[in-house]
Amino acid sequence: MRSLIRTHATEFSLLAVIVVISTVLSFATANFFSLGNAFDLLNISAVNIIFAVGLLVVLIAGGIDISFAVAASVVQYCAAIVLGWIGGGGWISGLLIAGSLGVLLGCVNAFLIHRFRIISIVATISTFNIYFGLLMFFTRGVSIYDLPDWLTDRVILFEREMPDGTWIEITLPVLVMAVCVVATWLLITRTTIGRQLYAFGDNPEGARRFGINIGAMQFIAFGWLGLMAGIGGLIQAHYAQEVVPNALYGRELDVLAAVVLGGARLGGGKGSVLGCVLGVLLISITQNGLNLMGVSPFAFKMIVGAIILIAITISNTRIERLLAFVGEKGAGR
Amino acid sequence: MTTILERVKTALGPEMAGPGLAFVAVVLVFGIASPQFLSAATFGSVAFQLPELGLLTLAMLLPILTGGLNLAITFTANIAGLTVAWVLRENGGVDAGVGIFIAGCLLALLVGAASGVVMGLVIAFTRAHPILVSLSMMIFLRGLGEFLTRGGDISGFPAFMGPIGHGSIAGIPVPLIVFIVCVVGWHVLLGRTKLGFNTYMIGSNLEATRYSGINTRKAIVLVYTLSGVMCAIAGIIMLARFNSVRIGHGESYLLITVLACFLGGVNPFGGFGRVIPVFVALVVLQLLSSGLNLIGANQHLATAVWGILLVGVMILRWVASKIRISIIRRGS
């Protein structure tokens, strides 16, 4: 147990913070501690968690991707058009189209990074601008509301009436999220490819000499993120019941903050699915709690930002070291 | 003749090749494609649009040179602009005097510096990754701004502020003068001062710099502080140009500033890069957008072309390195 805590320090401290915040919120607000609210949280966070586990794979492989949220917007738009052409389709064809478009866009990044040795942040900032610029140019910023019925109909997988008359429900996004999370977990912990991704992220040159196919690693990591971005984009369209070209713009940085908060290291070789999910949940729970406490929605981002800033300050510095620094200053250096 | 060429080459440095070539290419292509391109009007519009993006890029440049990143630049600028607006509104609004405005600007610079100091302290003392620190600062500042303004615009400023955004002295737009002064300042800072030297050293190898007796923490805090001050200057210029403050103004510039730095030959891992090539890269980006505008395309297409340009320059750099390696091999 002790070694488990030591090897999973980030996950445990995140869990502890979530427990503390949840306990406080349960006493401070009437509605926080209820099954309905927990399910609401899952429904709301589903898309972000899908993006987050995809980004996690890229971060583990030592890369960074800025373009995935915009890629998801491109996938949404193209998928909506393609589905119109083929005359409707269904969930299977929708997910196939969105997934393969996403993989395609992810592979563009992998190709630039691997073939031309462009650093991943440079390559993905370029593709971010290319995708977003072209999307806004061709769509002229016009949204699509005329989506197929199967895509906009809410799919309720589980519902139950609570004693107080409210309905609790789990919707399709949560199922898709669970599949994506489990698939990513299997990929990075239960397969050879997963171990190779960690090795590659930790030490690319060492991995290369060990006989790991560097190109394959890049394509798998960015392709996986592309797949998740595509699926996430389709689910977002389902959830919002519309396709707005710039709706996901800016989401990439929020997701990145959550994933890194969950213990993934910028630089590669570290990170877990559990930590990543907890990172997203921590932010969602904070926002949800503030909402229930009646705090103005305009203040959410401010408080969330401050919490992340404090969390990283504390998680990177032991309290003793902070105190020692104060003492040092006091000694008149 | 060759000595002059050599001297020019060393003076410009290897970073100049990419943006220099791009500059020539853009001028040639658009000069042929559109007869109005090589006119005073084009350069006039570039001169007015350049400073906004340019000042923010300067703010991004210093942290990148230390191997970091400052993702909070646009919102630091917004908050600084908001500070000026608040000071003006508390002291008479449209009728406020020049003194009030100057006081507001000083306070804005302090606010910008404060945001930088906080980020610098956290990065220097906890060794957290700069992307994450500046990202959380960005989220915080955006939230703070939204909280204070409720997402709306603030406008109604004294008339004398107009010329700062739109006026010109001797035919040169005032924002451009401010921008060029800042470029020169950054150039001198990086080339001639101890802090500039330390910035490059930290970007190349933080540990080695620390062991050589340089106070790296102080240097990092100073770099982020200066970055915050530059954001505040950008915020004041933006305030004067739009004659309003809105949280989210210039948000789309955030990743463009990083793009401009990389286009200007700055090493993404820090340590290498100079101000003048970045300046040329900025001019190229603005010329591209003006040129596309003349042909009839919109700003969004320009954004896409900026991304393609960066990929193109990176691929050319890769090709050049391949050729160099093959020449060296053949020579030996």
Q: Which residues of A touch B136 (CB under 8 A)?
A: 257, 305-306, 308-309, 312
Specify the higher pLDDT residue, A265 or A81: A81
pLDDT, residue A4, reads: 66
Count contacts between A and B (CB, < 8 Å). Answer: 154
| DSSP secondary structure string for all residues of B264-291 | TT--TTSS---HHHHHHHHHHHHHHHHH
Per-residue pLDDT tens for A113-135?
A: 999 888 888 899 899 999 999 99
Residue B167 backbone dihedrals phi, psi, to 5 degrees: -75, 170
Name the average pLDDT for chain A. Answer: 84
pLDDT in tens, chain B (332 residues): 566 666 666 656 666 777 777 778 777 877 777 777 777 777 777 888 888 889 999 999 999 999 888 888 999 999 998 888 888 888 776 777 778 888 888 999 999 999 999 999 988 888 888 888 888 898 898 888 888 888 778 877 777 777 777 777 777 888 888 888 999 998 888 888 888 888 888 888 888 888 888 888 888 999 999 999 999 999 988 888 887 788 878 778 888 888 888 888 888 888 888 888 888 888 888 888 888 887 777 888 888 888 888 888 888 888 888 888 888 888 75
Which of A117, A127, A325 has the CB atom closest to B307's CB atom?
A: A127
Distance of residue A310 Cα from the nearest chain B Cα, in angstroms: 9
**Beta strand pairing call for A156-161 and B168-169:** unpaired
Residue A331: pLDDT band with limits 50, 70, 90: very low
pLDDT, residue A56, reads: 93
Contact A56, A273 (CB under 8 A): yes
CA distances from B80 to A240, A298, B110, B223 (A): 35, 19, 9, 18
**Annotated domain spans of chain B:** 37-251+265-273
pLDDT, residue A333, reads: 33
Distance of residue B83 Cα from the nearest chain A Cα, in angstroms: 17
Structure tokens at A54: 């995809």
Per-residue pLDDT tens for A2-32?
A: 666 666 777 788 888 888 888 888 888 777 7
**Beta strand pairing call for A167-171 and B168-169:** unpaired
Is residue A206 pLDDT above 60, yes or no?
yes
Asked if the C-beta of A250 comes within 8 angstroms of chain B's C-beta atoms, the answer is yes
Q: Which residues of A touch B306 (CB under 8 A)?
A: 129, 133
Specify the higher pLDDT residue, A321 or A96: A96
Distance of residue B160 Cα from the nearest chain A Cα, in angstroms: 32
Indicate the length of chain A as a whole number: 333
pLDDT, residue B1, reads: 54
Across the interface, whether the CB atoms of B259 and A125 are under 8 A apart is answered: yes
Contact A68, A225 (CB under 8 A): yes
Distance of residue A118 Cα from the nearest chain B Cα, in angstroms: 7
Q: A90: how many CB neighbours lie within 10 A of its CB?
A: 11
**Residue B256 CB-half CA count within 13 A:** 27
Contact B117, B222 (CB under 8 A): no
Structure tokens at A39: 């399910």
pLDDT, residue A131, reads: 93
DSSP state of B14: G
Asked if the C-beta of A3 comes within 8 angstroms of chain B's C-beta atoms, the answer is no
Asked if the C-beta of A16 comes within 8 angstroms of chain B's C-beta atoms, the answer is no
Asked if the C-beta of B307 comes within 8 angstroms of chain A's C-beta atoms, the answer is yes
Distance of residue A250 Cα from the nearest chain B Cα, in angstroms: 9
Nearest CA in chain B to A251: B139
Across the interface, whether the CB atoms of B268 and A129 are under 8 A apart is answered: no
Write the CB contacts of B173 (distance below 8 Å, at least 6 apart in sequence). B44, B47, B48, B51, B166, B167
Which of B135, B144, B255 has the CB atom closest to A256's CB atom?
A: B135
Closest residue by Cα to residue B58 from B328, B277, B315: B277
Nearest CA in chain B to A141: B300
Contact B303, A133 (CB under 8 A): yes
Which of B118, B140, B301 has the CB atom closest to A133's CB atom?
A: B301
Residue for token pair 């020692």: A324
Beta bridge partners of B172: B169
Across the interface, whether the CB atoms of B147 and A298 are under 8 A apart is answered: yes
Asked if the C-beta of B308 comes within 8 angstroms of chain A's C-beta atoms, the answer is yes
pLDDT, residue B152, reads: 77
Asked if the C-beta of B143 comes within 8 angstroms of chain A's C-beta atoms, the answer is yes
Is residue A327 pLDDT above 50, yes or no?
no
Closest residue by Cα to residue A41 from A289, A307, A311: A289
Nearest CA in chain B to A324: B125
pLDDT, residue A306, reads: 87
- Helices A68-85 and A214-240: crossing angle, nearest 10°? 60
Contact A187, A57 (CB under 8 A): yes
pLDDT, residue B310, reads: 86
Query: Which among B76, B148, B255, B322 is the top mutation candidate for probing chain A, defined by the most A β-carbons within 10 Å of its own β-carbon?
Result: B255
Asked if the C-beta of A66 comes within 8 angstroms of chain B's C-beta atoms, the answer is yes
DSSP state of A297: G
**Residue A151 CB-half CA count within 13 A:** 31
Distance of residue B144 Cα from the nearest chain A Cα, in angstroms: 5
Contact B165, A327 (CB under 8 A): no
Across the interface, whether the CB atoms of A308 and B300 are under 8 A apart is answered: no
Structure tokens at B31: 């000069």
pLDDT, residue A332, reads: 36
Distance separating alpha carbons of residues A68 and A83, to the nearest angstrom: 22
Which of B118, B127, B131 has the CB atom closest to A266's CB atom?
A: B131
Contact B65, B203 (CB under 8 A): yes
Tell me, rounded to whole angstroms, the distance of Cα B272 from its chain centroid: 16
Across the interface, whether the CB atoms of A133 and B300 are under 8 A apart is answered: yes
Across the interface, whether the CB atoms of A308 and B132 are under 8 A apart is answered: yes
pLDDT, residue A50, reads: 94
Distance separating alpha carbons of residues B89 and B193, to the nearest angstrom: 39
Distance of residue A38 Cα from the nearest chain B Cα, in angstroms: 25
